[in-house]
Amino acid sequence: MMLPNSLISGDIGYAVKINTEDYQEKILRDVLLPWVAENAVSGERVLQQDWAPAHSARSTLAFCQSHFPGHWTKDFWPANSPDLNPMDFAVWGYLQQKVFSKSHQSLNALKASLQNVWDDIDVTFLRLTVISVEKRLKACTAAKGAHFEHLHE
């Protein structure tokens, strides 16, 4: 999981596998819940997770159902849905384009570049990406779940 520096809890390092307990306590409870309370307008948010073990654990799903009404469960959200996942259809490509626009002399330089680009992502880009999900869902539905990228503007 990648999170911008502004959201990282001091107890979680970079490039570490997060177990279920840490995910629930240090990400969902300590970081996401306060952020949502301060920033999200009621009824204008949906929590969507992938199928990572920490996300799909029964206790995580129960936590999400309790704290995030309207949470999209793993059964609702297909495991392989890159055309619908904002990280897959927009953010990873953006990061790749920015990071690999120059060469890196070491793995550490590559990691530093990736982190810098991640930290500098424009919030407007992220908002527009999230807003586009509704159109993408409609296009996917119209294509009956088949590939629709060629139909999407």
Tens-place pLDDT, residues 61-109: 999 989 887 777 767 766 566 678 888 889 989 999 999 999 999 999 9
Helices (H), 2-122: 20-22, 33-39, 53-56, 58-67, 86, 92-99, 107-119
pLDDT of residue 2: 44
The mean per-residue pLDDT over the stretch 30-53 comes to 77
pLDDT of residue 73: 73
- pLDDT bucket at 131, cuts 50 / 70 / 90: confident
**From CA 91, how far away is CA 31, in angstroms rounded?**
21
DSSP 8-state symbol, 57: S
Give me the residue spans of the domains in the chain: 1-79, 80-153
Check residues 22 and 47 and name the one with the higher pLDDT. Answer: 22
**From CA 83, how far away is CA 128, in angstroms rounded?**
15
Measured over all CA atoms, what is the biggest interatomic distance in the chain, rounded to whole angstroms? 47
pLDDT of residue 86: 84
> What Å distances lie between residue 29 and 21, 37, 95, 99, 132, CA to CA?
10, 11, 27, 31, 27
For 113-129, write each residue's pLDDT tens digit.
998 998 899 888 988 88
Host H or E run for residue 145: none
List the one residue out of 84, 73, 91 whose CA is nearest residue 145.
Answer: 84
pLDDT of residue 153 exceeding 60? no
**Residues 6 or more apart in contact with residue 109 via CB below 8 angstroms:** none
Burial of 140 (0-12, 13-18, 19+ CB in 10 A): buried
pLDDT of residue 113: 93
143 strand-pairing partners: none
For 9-30, write each residue's pLDDT tens digit.
455 556 667 899 999 998 899 9
DSSP 68-85: STT-B-TTTS-SS-TTT-
